Amino acid sequence: MNSYKHILLAVDFFEQCDPVIHRAQELAARYQAKLSIVHVVDSLPITDAGYGADIPFNLDLTAELMANAKTRLATLAKQLAIADNDQWLEMGSPKTEIIRIAIENKVDLIIVGSHGRHGLALLLGSTANGVLHYAPCDVLAVRLQDTQ
């Protein structure tokens, strides 16, 4: 049977992400694998669809988002006993950054939620879908129920 050695948990910190975290914890324990986490602060500009105007990210807001994300990531890492150098806080496109971190760190299993903030519009959310298509390794999409 396949034995995973390095599992990467991609966490978006939306309300429903607990089952994804628990599954990653459970599988890391079962395979005695290293567990890393990644969160990506999306760098896409906010678009006001109603008026068709792009509101660019201002630098202060970006710094604040990164600072908040860093705190949340550190809290989760502590809870999961993940070392500092196995926590990844990135900025950019979530799927691109998740794949990059997986390749650079020889991850052999990526764990994502079936959908997050993009909701159930897609059976697999856009990040989950992108990761599944481009991952160099196995991907587990933990099925999340819609709460809306």
Helix orientation angle between 94-104 and 126-134, rounded to the nearest 10 degrees = 30
Q: Out of 23, 34, 100, 117, name the contact with ligand AMP by CB under 6 A.
A: 117
What's the DSSP call for residue 122? S
Question: Coil, helix or strand for 14?
Answer: coil
Among 21, 28, 73, 112, binds ligand AMP (CB under 6 A): 112
Of the residues 7, 20, 24, 73, which one makes contact with ligand AMP according to CB under 6 A: 20
Which of 24, 31, 109, 116: binder of ligand AMP (CB under 6 A)?
A: 116
Instruction: Report the C-alpha gap between 47 and 45 in whole angstroms.
Output: 6
| Number of helices (H), then strands (E), in the chain | 4, 7
Q: Which amino acid is at 107?
A: V
Q: Tell me if 12 contacts ligand AMP by CB under 6 A.
A: yes
Shortest distance, CB of residue 129 to ligand AMP, whole angstroms?
Answer: 7
The CA–CA distances, whole Å, from 146 to 22, 38, 125 equal: 18, 23, 12
Stretch that binds ligand AMP, among 54-62, 74-82, 100-108, 109-117 (CB under 6 A): 109-117
List interacting residues with ligand AMP (CB under 6 A).
10-12, 17, 20, 38-40, 42, 94, 112-113, 115-118, 125-128
